[in-house]
Amino acid sequence: MGNPIAFSTLACPEWTNETIVARAGRFGYDGIEWRGGADGHVQPSMPIGERQSLRRCLAESGLFSLAVTAYTSFVSENVVELEANVDDLRRYLDLAAELGARYVRAFLGELHPGADLMAAQRNIVRCLEAAASHAQDVGVGIAVEPHDDFVRSVSVVPIFERVTNPAVGAVWDIGNAFAAGEEPEEGFELLGRRIAYVQVKDGRGRLADWRLTRLGEGEVPLRRAFELLLCSGYAGAFSVEWERAWHPELDPAEAALPHVLMAVRELLAAARASTGGGQ
């Protein structure tokens, strides 16, 4: 079997959960990465009946839940705030388990000006370790996305080196890393053994000049990244992140998602051919 391909519901903020499942199946996707938070499609406040209904609907459509996104932050100097974020992550882990999701995608947070980086790293490690034991209990992984002040892979390595619990892994967002000035070889070398799943997008420019594009029309070296993954035996999922919730000028999901799925399949086929099938 090939690597499963999912998409993030960041692409379709206006769709209901039922519409998401129906169209994901019709387009040919394998799974869904659910956006959480106040504006997302799933939250820990969902009644148990809705959770069960959504999981049943996914199963009947032959789909799986890849992840649920929790908008966490672990860099505060306030102990109460840190504990609240850990508790929030635990609630999302429970939600993910009930939806049958493999991961909760979590963020580390944004540093305030003049913040003590070493102190922030210690807080992050403590928070992730505190939540990781619950993750193991419910059978869901924590997938940390390098983002904000931690977008470069090198910035999260000191954290991963100190987090010993195997329930904690990384989301490799190839496009975000490229926009921050990182080449795929660097990101893969630093995150390789920790990669839980891979997010896919394309764009042009770097840093302040970064602009999203349709897949295949940008500068992100996606094929190189795919080749690195397949050569290593990576069997995990690829998740399309079409950021229409943040960028309403992008094509609507019903037009974009079928095109992106075809493009990802073509990239994977080309990468497999050039690497001898990923063996």
What would the pLDDT profile of 17-66 be if each residue is shown by its tens digit?
Answer: 999 999 999 999 999 999 999 999 999 999 999 999 999 999 999 999 99
51: in domain: yes
pLDDT on residue 277: 61
Q: What's the CATH number where 21 sits?
A: 3.20.20.150
Average pLDDT over residues 221-236: 97
Q: What's the domain range around 115?
A: 5-274
pLDDT band at 143 (very low <50, low <70, confident <90, very high): very high
279: pLDDT strictly greater than 50: no
pLDDT in tens, 176-201: 999 999 999 999 999 999 999 999 99
| Alpha-carbon span 204 to 220, nearest angstrom | 7
Interval 91-98 mean pLDDT: 98
**Rounded mean pLDDT of 162-179?**
96
What was the pLDDT predicted at 275?
A: 84
Helical ranges in the chain per DSSP H: 17-27, 48-60, 79-99, 117-138, 153-160, 174-179, 184-191, 222-231, 253-274
User: Between 90 and 278, where is the model more confident?
Assistant: 90
Residue 168: helix, strand or coil by DSSP? strand
Nearest 5°: the CA angle 60, 200, 9 is: 45
Question: Percent of the chain, pLDDT > 70?
Answer: 99
Tokens in use for 207?
Answer: 């840093």
Does pLDDT of 107 surpass 50? Answer: yes
Report the 3 state secondary structure along 126-149.
Answer: HHHHHHHHHHHHHCCEEEECCCHH
The residues near 200 (Cβ < 8 Å, ≥ 6 apart) are 174, 175, 215, 222, 238, 239, 240, 241, 260, 264
Q: Mean pLDDT for the chain?
A: 96
For residue 1, the model assigns a pLDDT of 53
d(CA 146, CA 148): 7
CA distances 127 to 86, 124, 187, 200, Å, are: 6, 5, 24, 28
Q: What is the pLDDT of residues 198-219, one digit of tens each?
A: 999 999 999 999 999 999 999 9
Domain assignment present for 279: no
**Six-digit token pair at 60?**
């009947």
Share of the chain above pLDDT 90, in %: 94
Place of tokens 């042009």: 204
Cβ-contact 60, 94 below 8 angstroms: no
Give Cα 61 to chain centroid, integer Å. 22
Q: What's the domain count of the chain?
A: 1
- The pTM is what? 0.95
8 Å CB contact between 104 and 140: yes
Q: Answer yes or no: are the C-beta atoms of 68 and 117 closer than 8 Å.
A: no
86 pLDDT more than 50: yes
The DSSP secondary-structure symbol of 11 reads: G
Residues 6+ apart with CB under 8 A from 206: 178, 179, 180, 181
DSSP strand pairing (141-144 vs 195-200): unpaired
